[in-house]
Amino acid sequence: MLLKDKVAVVTGGAKGIGRGIGLKFASEGCSVVVADILTSEGNQTVKELSEKGPEAMFVKCDHTDSRQVQDMAKKVISKYGKIDILVNNAGGFGPPNPFLNVTEEEWDKRIDLNLKGVFLCVKAVAPYMMEKRSGRIINISSIAAITAGPADIEYGSAKGGVLSLTINLCLELAPYNITVNAILPGGILTDMFRASSGVTLGENEEIDTVLHERMAKAVPLGRIGTPEDIAGAALFFASELSSFVTGDRIIVGGGLPLMAPH
């Protein structure tokens, strides 16, 4: 097992990509802490994680609130005595919105959700890793950080900030044997992706089928991504397989942003 006896905190771990990462980590022997605002979904995911691997834990936490984040880290340390891995996955985007229509409130909300939260979580967890002189930090950015597309502009800007933060943290934390890397997902089939896709369904159409058909035309590998695809990259960064990799990024987009052959 690649993560035997390790402890990982996964923000936004109740659903979607975070849940997929948690399940992968648990199957590799890791105790997973699901930090999320979704209590019901979080507890259900913890149940699934505990069936697949070591005992898991749910902590209700708004990752944009510094006090809640600090309390979350303390609860994890109280239970497990350490935090080996931090996955900054929590975030979100909405339907496409022209730049001039974006309000200041919407801008601040997206930046807080996708960038400030990463800052707060690393600030809370890094001291424990520094004390142990060991750790893995994995930041979930987005392909929207490096290419223009249908995602809202404030989301792409925040995710670009996550890349910059990753590189700068890498240099500061390297002396403590803490690696910091980023994953850039492309289109991944999650509830959030479905809700924000803007797909208009015809009679008898199902959104997953429509999304698969749409992505098959755009993605070189001919399909939409899954949380399991992101989980594989996260496992690489979390394990000793990547012990000499830091300040780097992996695009998990089936070949995007390259164009699919026609």
The tens digit of pLDDT for each residue in 144-171 reads: 999 987 667 899 999 999 999 999 999 9
The verdict on 78 and 141 lying in the same domain is yes
- 80, 128, 155, 176: the catalytic one is 155
In a domain, 257, yes or no: no
The verdict on 98 and 204 lying in the same domain is no
The verdict on 28 and 132 lying in the same domain is yes
Quote the pLDDT of residue 257: 85
The verdict on 174 and 72 lying in the same domain is yes
Query: HEC profile for the chain?
Result: CCCCCCEEEEECCCCHHHHHHHHHHHHCCCEEEEEECCHHHHHHHHHHHHHHCCCCEEEECCCCCHHHHHHHHHHHHHHHCCCCEEEECCCCCCCCCCHHHCCHHHHHHHHHHHHHHHHHHHHHHHHHHHHHCCEEEEEECCHHHCCCCCCCHHHHHHHHHHHHHHHHHHHHHHHHCEEEEEEEECCECCHHHHHHCCCCCCCCCCHHHHHHHHHHHHCCCCCCECHHHHHHHHHHHHCHHHCCCCCCEEEECCCCCCCCCC
Quote the pLDDT of residue 218: 84
CATH code, domain carrying 54: 3.40.50.720
In a domain, 156, yes or no: yes
Quote the pLDDT of residue 214: 77
Residue 198, domain extent: 189-224
The verdict on 78 and 140 lying in the same domain is yes
In a domain, 1, yes or no: no
The verdict on 152 and 193 lying in the same domain is no
Tally of domains in the chain = 2
The verdict on 163 and 242 lying in the same domain is yes
Quote the pLDDT of residue 260: 65
Is 80 among the residues known to form the active site? no
**Which regions of the chain are under pLDDT 50?**
none
Q: pLDDT > 90: what percent of the chain? A: 76
Total-model pTM: 0.93
The verdict on 48 and 118 lying in the same domain is yes
Quote the pLDDT of residue 27: 97
The verdict on 208 and 126 lying in the same domain is no
Quote the pLDDT of residue 197: 63
The verdict on 38 and 112 lying in the same domain is yes
The verdict on 118 and 246 lying in the same domain is yes
The verdict on 181 and 194 lying in the same domain is no
